[in-house]
Structure 1
Amino acid sequence: MRTIDGFQVSEDDLGWFGQLLARTATAALSAFGGGVPTTARYLTARQGQKHYAALTFAATSGYHDADIEVGDTKFVGTDHVFRMETVRIETFSGMIPELYELIRDGRVEEYRQAAYELRSKMNTTDAAGKWNGPISFHGDGSVMALSILPIRRRRAL
Protein backbone atom coordinates (compact mmCIF):
# COMPACT_ATOMS: atom_id res chain seq x y z
CA MET A 1 0.00 0.00 0.00
CA ARG A 2 1.33 3.42 -0.97
CA THR A 3 0.84 6.43 1.30
CA ILE A 4 0.55 9.97 0.06
CA ASP A 5 1.60 12.98 2.09
CA GLY A 6 -1.15 15.47 2.74
CA PHE A 7 -2.86 17.52 5.36
CA GLN A 8 -6.30 17.94 6.77
CA VAL A 9 -8.09 21.24 7.27
CA SER A 10 -10.31 21.26 10.32
CA GLU A 11 -13.90 22.45 10.05
CA ASP A 12 -13.02 25.55 12.07
CA ASP A 13 -10.47 26.54 9.42
CA LEU A 14 -12.48 25.80 6.26
CA GLY A 15 -13.59 29.43 5.81
CA TRP A 16 -10.04 30.71 6.19
CA PHE A 17 -8.68 28.03 3.83
CA GLY A 18 -11.33 28.83 1.21
CA GLN A 19 -10.36 32.52 1.34
CA LEU A 20 -6.69 31.58 1.06
CA LEU A 21 -7.36 29.54 -2.08
CA ALA A 22 -9.55 32.28 -3.58
CA ARG A 23 -6.96 35.00 -2.92
CA THR A 24 -4.09 32.91 -4.28
CA ALA A 25 -6.02 32.02 -7.44
CA THR A 26 -7.01 35.68 -7.87
CA ALA A 27 -3.37 36.76 -7.52
CA ALA A 28 -2.35 34.25 -10.18
CA LEU A 29 -5.04 35.45 -12.56
CA SER A 30 -4.16 39.09 -11.99
CA ALA A 31 -0.47 38.40 -12.66
CA PHE A 32 -1.43 36.45 -15.80
CA GLY A 33 -3.35 39.47 -17.11
CA GLY A 34 -0.51 41.90 -16.41
CA GLY A 35 -2.00 43.53 -13.31
CA VAL A 36 1.13 43.71 -11.17
CA PRO A 37 -0.08 46.27 -8.57
CA THR A 38 -3.37 44.40 -8.15
CA THR A 39 -1.56 41.09 -7.68
CA ALA A 40 0.30 42.34 -4.59
CA ARG A 41 -2.90 42.99 -2.62
CA TYR A 42 -3.87 39.32 -2.74
CA LEU A 43 -0.54 37.90 -1.53
CA THR A 44 1.10 37.66 1.87
CA ALA A 45 4.73 38.62 2.42
CA ARG A 46 5.65 34.93 2.46
CA GLN A 47 3.95 34.41 -0.91
CA GLY A 48 6.06 37.15 -2.53
CA GLN A 49 3.99 40.30 -2.09
CA LYS A 50 7.17 42.44 -2.14
CA HIS A 51 7.98 41.25 -5.65
CA TYR A 52 4.67 42.56 -6.99
CA ALA A 53 4.60 45.71 -4.85
CA ALA A 54 8.06 46.87 -5.99
CA LEU A 55 8.53 49.40 -8.74
CA THR A 56 9.04 47.64 -12.04
CA PHE A 57 10.21 48.49 -15.49
CA ALA A 58 7.28 49.93 -17.45
CA ALA A 59 7.36 47.32 -20.20
CA THR A 60 6.90 44.50 -17.69
CA SER A 61 4.15 45.97 -15.53
CA GLY A 62 1.61 47.26 -18.01
CA TYR A 63 -2.00 46.32 -17.87
CA HIS A 64 -4.38 47.03 -20.73
CA ASP A 65 -1.36 47.67 -22.91
CA ALA A 66 -2.75 45.15 -25.41
CA ASP A 67 -6.10 43.74 -26.40
CA ILE A 68 -7.59 41.26 -28.81
CA GLU A 69 -11.13 40.55 -29.94
CA VAL A 70 -12.38 37.03 -30.38
CA GLY A 71 -15.81 37.00 -31.93
CA ASP A 72 -17.69 39.69 -30.02
CA THR A 73 -15.61 39.31 -26.84
CA LYS A 74 -12.78 41.69 -26.00
CA PHE A 75 -9.83 40.58 -23.88
CA VAL A 76 -7.32 43.01 -22.37
CA GLY A 77 -3.97 42.19 -20.90
CA THR A 78 -0.39 42.17 -21.96
CA ASP A 79 1.65 40.83 -24.85
CA HIS A 80 5.24 39.88 -25.48
CA VAL A 81 7.26 39.03 -28.55
CA PHE A 82 10.07 36.53 -28.32
CA ARG A 83 12.25 34.71 -30.77
CA MET A 84 12.89 31.02 -31.29
CA GLU A 85 15.86 30.97 -33.64
CA THR A 86 14.62 33.10 -36.56
CA VAL A 87 10.89 32.79 -35.79
CA ARG A 88 9.25 35.67 -33.93
CA ILE A 89 6.29 34.66 -31.76
CA GLU A 90 3.76 36.95 -30.13
CA THR A 91 2.06 35.84 -26.93
CA PHE A 92 -1.00 37.46 -25.44
CA SER A 93 -2.37 36.78 -21.99
CA GLY A 94 -5.37 38.58 -20.62
CA MET A 95 -8.95 38.45 -19.53
CA ILE A 96 -12.37 39.98 -20.01
CA PRO A 97 -12.17 43.61 -18.78
CA GLU A 98 -15.26 43.41 -16.58
CA LEU A 99 -13.80 40.47 -14.67
CA TYR A 100 -10.49 42.22 -14.12
CA GLU A 101 -12.29 45.28 -12.76
CA LEU A 102 -13.95 43.10 -10.11
CA ILE A 103 -10.55 41.69 -9.11
CA ARG A 104 -8.95 45.13 -9.13
CA ASP A 105 -11.67 46.41 -6.82
CA GLY A 106 -11.24 43.50 -4.40
CA ARG A 107 -14.62 41.94 -5.17
CA VAL A 108 -13.40 38.35 -5.41
CA GLU A 109 -16.71 36.62 -4.72
CA GLU A 110 -18.47 38.74 -7.36
CA TYR A 111 -15.66 37.91 -9.78
CA ARG A 112 -16.01 34.18 -9.13
CA GLN A 113 -19.77 34.32 -9.75
CA ALA A 114 -19.38 36.39 -12.93
CA ALA A 115 -16.63 34.10 -14.26
CA TYR A 116 -18.80 31.07 -13.59
CA GLU A 117 -21.73 32.63 -15.47
CA LEU A 118 -19.49 33.49 -18.45
CA ARG A 119 -18.05 29.98 -18.81
CA SER A 120 -20.79 28.76 -21.11
CA LYS A 121 -20.72 31.97 -23.17
CA MET A 122 -17.02 31.82 -24.04
CA ASN A 123 -16.72 31.44 -27.79
CA THR A 124 -14.30 28.64 -28.58
CA THR A 125 -15.46 27.78 -32.11
CA ASP A 126 -13.84 29.77 -34.87
CA ALA A 127 -12.02 31.55 -32.09
CA ALA A 128 -8.97 32.50 -34.05
CA GLY A 129 -10.82 35.07 -36.15
CA LYS A 130 -8.22 37.70 -37.04
CA TRP A 131 -5.70 36.13 -34.65
CA ASN A 132 -3.17 34.01 -36.54
CA GLY A 133 -2.62 31.12 -34.14
CA PRO A 134 -3.97 29.01 -31.30
CA ILE A 135 -6.08 30.50 -28.51
CA SER A 136 -6.70 28.82 -25.19
CA PHE A 137 -9.82 29.82 -23.24
CA HIS A 138 -10.01 29.20 -19.51
CA GLY A 139 -13.05 28.90 -17.27
CA ASP A 140 -11.82 31.80 -15.15
CA GLY A 141 -12.37 34.32 -17.97
CA SER A 142 -8.75 34.40 -19.11
CA VAL A 143 -7.24 33.65 -22.48
CA MET A 144 -3.79 32.86 -23.82
CA ALA A 145 -2.95 33.22 -27.48
CA LEU A 146 0.14 32.55 -29.59
CA SER A 147 0.89 33.80 -33.07
CA ILE A 148 3.84 33.47 -35.39
CA LEU A 149 4.73 36.89 -36.72
CA PRO A 150 5.74 37.51 -40.33
CA ILE A 151 9.47 37.57 -41.05
CA ARG A 152 10.74 41.10 -40.93
CA ARG A 153 13.87 41.76 -42.96
CA ARG A 154 16.25 44.34 -41.56
CA ARG A 155 18.51 46.45 -43.67
CA ALA A 156 22.22 45.95 -43.13
CA LEU A 157 23.95 48.96 -41.65
Structure 2
Amino acid sequence: MSTAPGGWLHIPDGTPATDIGLDLGSKNPDIGILKPGQGKDPDSSEPGCQVGPKDPKDYAWFQRVLARVGAASLTAFAGDGESTAALLTTRQGSDFFQGFAHAASGSVQDQDYTLLGEKFEGTDHVFRLNGNRVQAFSGVAADVLDSLVTRKEPKRQADIAAYRHQVHARRAKEHGTFWDHTWGGVVSIGRDGTVLAMRQIPPFRDE
Protein backbone atom coordinates (compact mmCIF):
# COMPACT_ATOMS: atom_id res chain seq x y z
CA MET A 1 0.00 0.00 0.00
CA SER A 2 1.44 3.36 -0.97
CA THR A 3 0.72 6.96 -0.05
CA ALA A 4 -0.58 9.13 -2.84
CA PRO A 5 0.17 12.89 -3.10
CA GLY A 6 -1.95 14.88 -0.68
CA GLY A 7 -1.86 12.33 2.12
CA TRP A 8 -4.38 9.78 0.83
CA LEU A 9 -3.59 6.09 1.14
CA HIS A 10 -3.60 4.60 -2.35
CA ILE A 11 -6.71 2.46 -2.77
CA PRO A 12 -6.30 -0.51 -5.12
CA ASP A 13 -9.13 -1.36 -7.50
CA GLY A 14 -11.96 -3.23 -5.83
CA THR A 15 -11.48 -1.67 -2.38
CA PRO A 16 -13.75 1.40 -2.39
CA ALA A 17 -13.36 3.98 0.37
CA THR A 18 -17.03 3.54 1.27
CA ASP A 19 -16.07 0.18 2.82
CA ILE A 20 -13.44 1.70 5.07
CA GLY A 21 -15.73 1.71 8.08
CA LEU A 22 -16.52 -1.99 7.96
CA ASP A 23 -15.75 -4.11 11.02
CA LEU A 24 -12.28 -5.67 11.13
CA GLY A 25 -13.61 -9.06 12.12
CA SER A 26 -11.29 -11.70 13.53
CA LYS A 27 -8.75 -11.64 10.70
CA ASN A 28 -5.28 -12.49 11.97
CA PRO A 29 -2.68 -12.10 9.20
CA ASP A 30 0.71 -13.71 9.42
CA ILE A 31 3.14 -11.63 11.44
CA GLY A 32 6.49 -10.95 9.86
CA ILE A 33 8.03 -9.20 6.86
CA LEU A 34 9.61 -11.52 4.32
CA LYS A 35 13.17 -10.49 3.57
CA PRO A 36 14.53 -12.13 0.40
CA GLY A 37 17.85 -13.84 0.86
CA GLN A 38 20.97 -12.65 -0.91
CA GLY A 39 22.78 -15.17 -3.07
CA LYS A 40 22.68 -18.56 -1.35
CA ASP A 41 21.25 -17.12 1.87
CA PRO A 42 17.67 -18.27 2.57
CA ASP A 43 14.76 -15.91 2.94
CA SER A 44 14.24 -14.61 6.44
CA SER A 45 11.49 -12.91 8.42
CA GLU A 46 11.67 -9.54 10.16
CA PRO A 47 9.25 -8.29 12.84
CA GLY A 48 6.28 -6.43 11.38
CA CYS A 49 3.15 -6.92 9.30
CA GLN A 50 3.46 -7.33 5.56
CA VAL A 51 0.65 -6.80 3.06
CA GLY A 52 1.51 -8.92 0.05
CA PRO A 53 0.82 -7.63 -3.48
CA LYS A 54 -0.79 -10.95 -4.47
CA ASP A 55 -3.61 -10.73 -1.93
CA PRO A 56 -5.80 -7.66 -2.65
CA LYS A 57 -8.17 -8.61 0.17
CA ASP A 58 -5.42 -7.74 2.66
CA TYR A 59 -5.22 -4.22 1.21
CA ALA A 60 -8.84 -3.47 2.10
CA TRP A 61 -8.47 -4.97 5.57
CA PHE A 62 -5.22 -3.16 6.34
CA GLN A 63 -6.67 0.12 5.09
CA ARG A 64 -9.53 -0.26 7.55
CA VAL A 65 -7.06 -1.02 10.36
CA LEU A 66 -5.10 2.17 9.71
CA ALA A 67 -8.22 4.31 9.42
CA ARG A 68 -9.77 2.97 12.62
CA VAL A 69 -6.55 3.34 14.64
CA GLY A 70 -6.20 6.92 13.42
CA ALA A 71 -9.78 7.65 14.42
CA ALA A 72 -9.26 6.00 17.82
CA SER A 73 -6.29 8.27 18.53
CA LEU A 74 -8.59 11.29 18.16
CA THR A 75 -11.38 9.99 20.39
CA ALA A 76 -8.83 8.97 23.04
CA PHE A 77 -7.27 12.45 22.89
CA ALA A 78 -10.72 13.93 23.50
CA GLY A 79 -11.25 11.64 26.49
CA ASP A 80 -13.98 9.42 25.02
CA GLY A 81 -13.07 5.92 26.11
CA GLU A 82 -16.28 4.27 24.93
CA SER A 83 -15.94 5.52 21.34
CA THR A 84 -12.25 4.59 21.38
CA ALA A 85 -13.04 1.03 22.46
CA ALA A 86 -15.61 0.71 19.66
CA LEU A 87 -12.90 1.50 17.09
CA LEU A 88 -10.34 -1.02 18.34
CA THR A 89 -10.15 -4.79 18.45
CA THR A 90 -9.44 -6.77 21.59
CA ARG A 91 -5.86 -7.36 20.44
CA GLN A 92 -5.44 -3.61 20.02
CA GLY A 93 -6.48 -3.01 23.62
CA SER A 94 -10.16 -2.12 23.39
CA ASP A 95 -10.72 -3.62 26.86
CA PHE A 96 -8.55 -0.90 28.38
CA PHE A 97 -11.00 1.78 27.22
CA GLN A 98 -14.21 -0.03 28.22
CA GLY A 99 -16.03 2.18 30.71
CA PHE A 100 -13.06 4.55 30.79
CA ALA A 101 -13.72 8.29 30.53
CA HIS A 102 -10.61 10.43 30.65
CA ALA A 103 -11.00 13.06 33.39
CA ALA A 104 -14.76 13.02 32.88
CA SER A 105 -17.84 11.22 34.14
CA GLY A 106 -18.95 9.36 31.06
CA SER A 107 -19.30 11.99 28.35
CA VAL A 108 -16.88 13.19 25.71
CA GLN A 109 -18.63 16.55 25.82
CA ASP A 110 -17.70 17.34 29.41
CA GLN A 111 -15.94 20.45 28.11
CA ASP A 112 -16.16 22.48 24.94
CA TYR A 113 -14.51 25.75 24.02
CA THR A 114 -14.37 28.07 21.05
CA LEU A 115 -10.69 28.52 20.27
CA LEU A 116 -9.49 30.83 17.53
CA GLY A 117 -13.07 31.01 16.27
CA GLU A 118 -13.70 27.25 16.08
CA LYS A 119 -15.56 24.92 18.44
CA PHE A 120 -13.62 22.05 20.02
CA GLU A 121 -14.86 19.33 22.36
CA GLY A 122 -12.83 17.29 24.79
CA THR A 123 -11.63 17.26 28.37
CA ASP A 124 -9.32 19.27 30.60
CA HIS A 125 -7.05 19.15 33.62
CA VAL A 126 -6.00 21.71 36.20
CA PHE A 127 -2.54 21.43 37.73
CA ARG A 128 0.19 23.54 39.25
CA LEU A 129 3.22 24.68 37.31
CA ASN A 130 5.89 26.55 39.28
CA GLY A 131 3.27 27.40 41.88
CA ASN A 132 0.73 28.72 39.35
CA ARG A 133 -2.55 26.96 38.59
CA VAL A 134 -2.75 26.03 34.91
CA GLN A 135 -5.62 24.63 32.86
CA ALA A 136 -4.85 22.30 29.94
CA PHE A 137 -7.59 21.40 27.49
CA SER A 138 -7.22 18.58 24.95
CA GLY A 139 -9.89 18.15 22.32
CA VAL A 140 -10.91 17.68 18.71
CA ALA A 141 -12.77 19.92 16.28
CA ALA A 142 -16.48 19.40 16.95
CA ASP A 143 -17.39 18.48 13.36
CA VAL A 144 -14.64 15.85 13.17
CA LEU A 145 -15.41 14.38 16.58
CA ASP A 146 -19.13 14.17 15.84
CA SER A 147 -18.42 11.64 13.08
CA LEU A 148 -16.61 9.35 15.53
CA VAL A 149 -18.60 9.58 18.76
CA THR A 150 -20.61 6.40 19.32
CA ARG A 151 -21.88 7.05 22.84
CA LYS A 152 -24.57 9.55 21.80
CA GLU A 153 -28.19 8.45 21.76
CA PRO A 154 -29.42 6.74 19.73
CA LYS A 155 -26.39 4.44 19.62
CA ARG A 156 -24.55 4.56 16.33
CA GLN A 157 -21.35 3.49 14.63
CA ALA A 158 -18.46 5.77 13.82
CA ASP A 159 -18.54 7.16 10.27
CA ILE A 160 -14.92 6.50 9.32
CA ALA A 161 -15.32 7.67 5.71
CA ALA A 162 -16.78 11.03 6.82
CA TYR A 163 -14.01 11.45 9.41
CA ARG A 164 -11.29 10.86 6.80
CA HIS A 165 -12.82 13.37 4.38
CA GLN A 166 -13.15 15.99 7.10
CA VAL A 167 -9.56 15.56 8.27
CA HIS A 168 -8.27 15.64 4.70
CA ALA A 169 -10.21 18.84 4.02
CA ARG A 170 -8.64 20.42 7.12
CA ARG A 171 -5.15 20.07 5.69
CA ALA A 172 -5.66 23.35 3.85
CA LYS A 173 -6.63 25.18 7.06
CA GLU A 174 -4.11 27.08 9.14
CA HIS A 175 -2.52 25.03 11.89
CA GLY A 176 0.22 25.59 14.41
CA THR A 177 0.63 27.32 17.77
CA PHE A 178 -1.03 30.68 18.41
CA TRP A 179 -1.99 33.02 21.24
CA ASP A 180 -5.75 33.25 21.69
CA HIS A 181 -6.61 36.49 23.52
CA THR A 182 -10.19 35.39 24.20
CA TRP A 183 -9.05 32.08 25.72
CA GLY A 184 -6.22 33.87 27.47
CA GLY A 185 -3.48 31.43 26.60
CA VAL A 186 -1.64 29.33 24.06
CA VAL A 187 -3.57 27.21 21.54
CA SER A 188 -1.91 24.55 19.38
CA ILE A 189 -4.01 23.13 16.53
CA GLY A 190 -2.96 20.03 14.60
CA ARG A 191 -3.69 19.25 10.97
CA ASP A 192 -6.03 16.45 12.02
CA GLY A 193 -8.31 18.72 14.05
CA THR A 194 -6.78 18.04 17.47
CA VAL A 195 -6.12 20.93 19.82
CA LEU A 196 -4.12 21.46 23.00
CA ALA A 197 -4.78 24.73 24.81
CA MET A 198 -3.21 26.01 28.02
CA ARG A 199 -3.85 29.07 30.17
CA GLN A 200 -3.05 30.29 33.64
CA ILE A 201 -5.91 30.37 36.13
CA PRO A 202 -6.06 33.46 38.36
CA PRO A 203 -5.12 32.63 41.96
CA PHE A 204 -7.68 32.38 44.72
CA ARG A 205 -8.08 35.54 46.75
CA ASP A 206 -6.60 33.94 49.87
CA GLU A 207 -3.45 32.73 48.06
SS of aligned partner of 1:135: strand
Q: How does 1:1-157 map to 2 (within 5 A)?
A: 7=48, 8-11=50-53, 12=55, 13-54=58-99, 59=104, 61-104=106-149, 105-122=157-174, 128-154=180-206
Residues matched between the structures, number: 151
Point out where structure 1 has 5 or more consecutive residues left out of the alignment: none
Q: Which has the higher contact order (CA 8 A, sep 6+)?
A: 1
Question: Structure 1 length normalisation: TM-score?
Answer: 0.81
Q: Which runs of 4+ in 1 moved over 4 A?
A: 55-58, 122-127
Question: 2: distance between equivalents of 1:131 and 1:58?
Answer: 21
Identical aligned pairs, as a percentage? 34
Higher gyration radius (CA): 2
Contact 1:70-1:129 within 8 A present in 2 as well? no
Question: 1: distance between equivalents of 2:127 and 2:177?
Answer: 27
Judging by fraction of residues, say which structure has more helix.
Answer: 1
SS of aligned partner of 2:163: helix
RMSD over aligned Cα atoms: 2.5
Contact 1:70-1:123 within 8 A present in 2 as well? no
Contact 2:80-2:101 within 8 A present in 1 as well? no
Offset, 1:92:
0.6
Offset, 1:70:
2.3
Q: Judging changes above 3 Å, is the alpha-carbon distance between structure 1 residues 10 and 57 closer, same or farther for their aligned structure 2 residues?
A: closer
